Amino acid sequence: MKSTSLILVFLLFSSAFAQESAPPGGFYKPCRGDEPDSSTCITPPHATYSPNPEYPAKEQNNHRGGTVTLQFVVGTDGLPQNISVSVSLSPAFDAAAVDALKKWKFSPATKNGKPVAVNIAVQMSFHPPPEK
């Protein structure tokens, strides 16, 4: 039985992933509302396919839950790359979260109408399955 939830936490647009120098402060701001992407902002990526992680079998008897935070790059192709765990729950939960994220697909971030790679983070929350 699956019992997970997902939260997109925050977007950080680092100059390391932009094609030109970042604005003062080193981060691009996300474009908001009707604001088109331009040289001063980046339209964030959004998940187009995001299957939930499986609750780890190794944790079934522990009846615990929690949240794993993953940081990664959404490439210009919309696929997650360079996935790392920034807040761990346990090796089993971490592996389940990473395995799920590897299946995700995004529409890439854009700047001036062109796809750009950006660094983002997501939190995947796990809830224990109901006791039998």
pLDDT of amino acid 30: 77
What average pLDDT score do residues 106-116 get? 91
Q: How many domains does the chain have?
A: 1
Tell me, yes or no, whether 71 lies in a domain.
Answer: yes
Tell me, yes or no, whether 114 lies in a domain.
Answer: yes
Q: How far apart are CA 75 and CA 48, in angstroms?
A: 14
pTM of the model: 0.78
Q: What is the CATH number of the domain that holds 81?
A: 3.30.2420.10
Domain of 25, in residue numbers: 4-126
pLDDT tens track for 3-44 = 444 444 444 444 344 444 455 555 667 777 666 666 678 888
Who has greater pLDDT, 125 or 38?
Answer: 125
Tell me, yes or no, whether 132 lies in a domain.
Answer: no
Tell me, yes or no, whether 18 lies in a domain.
Answer: yes
Which of 11-15, 88-92, 103-107 is predicted least confidently?
11-15
Tell me, yes or no, whether 58 lies in a domain.
Answer: yes
Contact in structure between 9 and 122 (CB atoms under 8 Å): yes
